Amino acid sequence: MNITDIVVIVAGALIGAVILAALWRIVYRKRAEVHLEEARRNAERVIDDARKAAEAKLKEADLEVKEKLLQMRSDFDRQAQQRREEMKNSERRLQQKEENLDRKTQQIDSRIAEVERRDRDIADREKGVVAREGELNSLIEDQRRKLEQISGLTVEQAKQELIRGIENEAKLEAANIIKRIETEAVELGTQKARKILGMAIQRMASDYVAENT
């Protein structure tokens, strides 16, 4: 083997080494690109998963917030409705109290008016009693004078004079009573008053007949 062969062998070895190194570099780069692409895809997948998870969390949080807002609004509406009902009930009770107070005030006013009317009636009756008492006193005095006048008459004459006086007195009393009852009957304006009037007239007639028999 001469020098030329050695040079050729060394040169071939060097060329083979260079070619092998180039091939190895190409293969390594290809594998690196494959790994890089895989890493990129993994990174994109992780990012996409993270984005989806974040969106899901955001949607969940948004839904939770909306549910809380709806619950708060529902609670507020319920409390507001309850408050309105309480206010309506309070207003209704207040109105009832005012109506009761007005009714009681009217009743008191009516009672006061009735008491005043009765006081006036009593005062009028007292005046009538006083006037009647005066009339009776005058009548008694007249009868006394008549008795003094007829003291000299016979028994029969005195009896007839007394009967005439009693008749006149009874007629006057009956006329006054009938007039008073008729006035009350007009004021009452009822069948009961007319019935009372008839009964009173019958009673006075019976008393008159009994006194003169």
∠ at Cα 206 (201, 209), nearest 5°?
125
Q: How far apart are CA 75 and CA 87, in angstroms?
A: 18
Residues with Cβ within 8 Å of residue 75, at least 6 apart in sequence = none
| Residue-level pLDDT at 154 | 59
- Contacts of range 63-67, beta carbons closer than 8 Å, 24 or more positions apart: none
Asked if 153 contacts 161 with a C-beta cutoff of 8 angstroms, the reply is: yes
Helices marked H in the chain — which ranges?
3-150, 155-188, 191-211
C-alpha 121/C-alpha 81 separation (Å) is 59
Q: Walk along the chain (213 residues) and give the pLDDT tens digit of each residue.
A: 556 666 556 666 666 666 666 667 766 777 767 777 777 777 778 878 878 887 888 888 888 888 899 998 888 988 888 888 988 888 888 888 888 888 887 887 788 788 778 778 777 777 776 777 777 777 767 777 776 665 555 556 666 766 777 777 767 776 776 677 666 656 655 555 556 556 655 665 555 545 555
Please state the φ and ψ torsions of residue 57, each to the nearest 5 degrees: -65, -45
pLDDT at 103: 86
| Distance in angstroms (rounded) separating the CA atoms of residues 130 and 126 | 6
- The residues near 189 (Cβ < 8 Å, ≥ 6 apart) are none
Distance CA 179, CA 128 (A): 14
Angle between helices 155-188 and 191-211 (to 10 degrees): 180
Judge contact between 181 and 143, C-beta under 8 A: no
